[in-house]
Structure 1
Amino acid sequence: MVTVADVRALTRTLPRTSEHLIRDRVKFRVGAIVYVAFSRDETTMGSATRRRNEPRWSPPSRSCSSCPARRTCASTGSAATSTGSTTTG
């Protein structure tokens, strides 16, 4: 049976891997991508891989999706600036 100590020893040898305790769960990640996580009681381990047809990461859109033509956001009533961010007013 694999333990957190076993995984910790292996991940120390991997470049750019960091260990985090998030909501009482031990998680190992590279950047923002969590690739191994343990349950709170450390009895269950989950791992993740990129799905075959899943697109790679792309930067978020700079404009509000609900209001590209109107230049104001319907949900907040804010006016959008030329960069796509919103201002109140």
Structure 2
Amino acid sequence: MKHKSIIDIVPLASKISVVVSLLLSIGIIAAEGTSSGVVFNLIPSFGWVFVFAVFLSFIIIYPVMFIIIYLAITTITRFIK
């Protein structure tokens, strides 16, 4: 009984964490994109550095946020059960 409920919760937790972490990372990228756009207009040579930083931050931030959100959801569901 308990194993069945865990199996049911885990895919849901991963789906929720994927959606939430994607939305958060898109929000961060949008914020960084606008700031880098301003910098790109002011200092064109440094613009590409900020574009690279946005991609790098997405690569780093997305998995970290996914893990944190996934762990949070699994611990919350464990406490509810």
Structure with the larger strand share = 1
With normalisation by structure 1, the TM-score equals: 0.23
Structure with the larger helix share = 2
The one of the two structures with greater contact order (alpha-carbon pairs below 8 A, sep at least 6) is 2
With normalisation by structure 2, the TM-score equals: 0.24
